[in-house]
Amino acid sequence: MYSSEHPIPSETQLSGLLVQPLAERIREWYLAGKLDEGDLERALSNDGHALVDHPVGSGEWVPLSDVEGLVTLVAEQLGGEAGLADWASEIVEGWQGADPVRELVQVARSLVDAPGFVVSQASELLVCEPDWRYDGGRSAFAVRLRGVEAASSSLKALLGALLARLANAVQDLAFDVRFEGVDADELVVFGEIAADGEIEGEELQESRLHRAALVG
């Protein structure tokens, strides 16, 4: 088992990488007339409204409370948590060209247990100093993420779906990765060898490179 060593901050902050697609989608809907100023004022704080008007950088950090309004508006338009989970695939596809995501996926491809590595390290890209725990076996893994207890169920669903979709972006391994939900305030992302996987048993062992990356 491996874990991060970050203390959980008093106020959870999320990265601009996550905020950008939310704000961009709301901006598009507003310009298209699908949302009006009343919708924005109802759901967004002043700072949340500013995120729509003035895009943040991918490396900036935004208080969770300001992101919640963005998630609420998008979820309303997409049909709830299921719609957010479906949209996660589109977000991840757009992230493929972003430097931190591209570099993470490239590093992961050299690891036997790449999907679990991607989930644990991607949590660091999306949540400021998250507290995560990785448990990996010969044919499955689970990453448990703490630090987002205050998030709404919609935001948790989006975060979990994004982490799972990022792990599945490592196409050359026969893992099925999915967001399992919330257990004891922890987001749980689980992965296992797909039923039709053809990876030899010896290759399912946790890679030394992964171990070095996690503890280094």
The pLDDT, as a whole number, for residue 20 is 97
Cβ 117 vs Cβ 108: under 8 Å = yes
- What letter would DSSP give residue 152? -
pLDDT along the chain (216 residues), means of 10: 51 94 97 96 94 93 95 96 95 89 86 85 93 82 91 96 90 78 92 64 46 51
The pLDDT, as a whole number, for residue 62 is 96
The pLDDT, as a whole number, for residue 154 is 96
Vertex 180 angle, CA 127 and 134, to 5°: 55
Assigned token pair, 73: 């508006």
The pLDDT, as a whole number, for residue 171 is 60
The pLDDT, as a whole number, for residue 197 is 52
